[in-house]
Structure 1
Amino acid sequence: MKYSLLDVAAVAPEETPTDALHGAVPLARAAETSGFNRVWYAEHHNMPQIASAATSVVIAHVAAHTEHIRLGAGGVMLPNHSPLVIAEQFGTLAALHPGRIDLGLGRAPGSDQNTMRALRRTPQSADSFPDDVLELQGYLNGETRVHGVNATPGNGSRVPLYILGSSLFGAQLAAALGLPYAFASHFAPAALEAALQRYRAEFRPSEDHPKPYVIAAANVIASPDEQDAHEQHQAALRWRARRFLVRGRDLTDQELDSLLDSPMGYEVKSMMRHTAVGTPEQVQKQLSTFAEHTRADELMLAPASIRREDRLQTVELIPAPTD
């Protein structure tokens, strides 16, 4: 079992995006020391709490300050971009940091409707996602699908591609293309079992991937003190309640806890259904159970604590399993 890290450069209360971005390097270094396989950065737009919008820029910075851990996007929302531009960006990263760069691809906008328009895309942009993946793959594999157009850098770099998803669509596409599949069960767990079953059942072997490869995501909070870990978990739930349920309203922690215990709060709790919380030993046991449940080849762990120092502590406390 491999552990990897999902980082969105979360902006904690009383922090700035600059603070969050500077925190990406220590977190990646901790993952490297703990034996994690890779660190991925997620593309989101117009979200004050997330600073990882320019994934390729963050990857370049972190790669220059780490030694060997793989780095990538988890993911680039491809309908927001030209496949050629993404091939050039990640081809550049692969040229500068050989053997260390991944490219996870999603079709969601990573934003709201107004932001979608600001990105110069429409709801129909996602319809071309399968064709865009193939076009991008062609640039990276040195087999361009656009006559006379090659990615420089990028042409022939064979940057590994991963399909991200939280529904059956991504599972079916990854299976049809013979690509690894990463499921976003850390925030959208509803279709996890069905999607993984569909992916494995329909997988078509490809040159690079003779068999299915599953990455399943889970939230994680570890602390030497069990009570502290559960307090961090409750704070994370309150943060999500503020974000999704009571925008613009200033509620106390007690009021937020009551809201979380209501039917309205069930959805927020459900988003974090797959969360390992507790001491390092308890977290490792919970992650092992989750891995057995999903039969995943790799777990993508999302530190869920609000404070940056707590997220760093979590990564330091849960070293990846060794053979």
Structure 2
Amino acid sequence: MLRCQQRERSTAAPRSPGDIVATDSGELHDVCIVGAGPAGLNAALILGRCRRDVVVIDSGKPRNGASRALHGFLSRDGTPPLELRALGRAELEPYPSVQLRQNTAVVAARRGENRFDLTLADGSTVAARILLLATGRIDLVPEKPGFREYYGLGVFHCPYCDGWEHRDETLVAYSSGETGHDLALDLRVWSRDVVLCTDGPSGLTPAQLRKLALNGVRVIEAPVVGARGGTGGVIASIVFEGHPELSCGAIFFSSDCLQKSPLAEELGCDLDDTGSVRCTGHAATQVPGLYVAGNVRGGVHLAIVAAAEGAEAGMAINNALHEADLK
């Protein structure tokens, strides 16, 4: 597969951030980054330090926007996600070759010869030699009363992000089948009081039921009516049909997390069976000039990992541009 780093070298003179090539559609930037979470901002930081001409497109709607704090991020543990993004934007200000376009989104993208042409929701256009997608995912919150209302306030999808804050409380795993079995056992790291609520027939095998029982996990198959809040605006209980209400400290659900943007697929990227964009190495895709970082990819979806992938992508992109511009 052709990778951007293997592009044929150009005979053009090396460019500086201020030496923008004029095109029929306006300025041709070195890089356009779509997405301004930890992945996109860290990539922009690396590229700004490499004196690359970068445009960052920020929709202002992050995946973790409902969360009160992000965790597992060294030196930033407990920081509200929107505050981290603000800090990241502020750290880009010393780099004049990096510009941010906030509160807009890319609605269309076309790959041309050694360039990408993007149309934004505000009607403007951006052209760049290389495109980095750091657009993230969307978590599908269960369509039950109270789940969306208390998402981030007792209803969560990631125990690594929020399990510690609810350690030793009654934890509900809302799922069924093998996924529910695995989620419930994972929650035993944070509490010995775990209840698997399957919202109907569990779909569990006898062996799975035995393992759950041996590890102290109760199983409730009654239909779930919804979640109920308590004092302080946080979750208090999960409500069933035909079964007593269960007081709990937190509800963790497992569901699909979809690509937030269709751009990767529309531009020809390969997706694996989990819906993640396949990389050929160092954030490059099989589409020449197109890179991905953060939750768009598979693997561990933590903010610190997304930031690291952004740095990886930034270095790979700078190397590709440098190779292309060398005589």
Q: Which has the larger radius of gyration?
A: 2
Q: Smaller-chain TM-score range? A: 0.3 to 0.5
Q: Considering fraction of residues, name the structure with more helix.
A: 1
TM-score normalised to structure 1 length: 0.32
TM-score normalised to structure 2 length: 0.32
Q: Which has the higher contact order (CA 8 A, sep 6+)?
A: 2
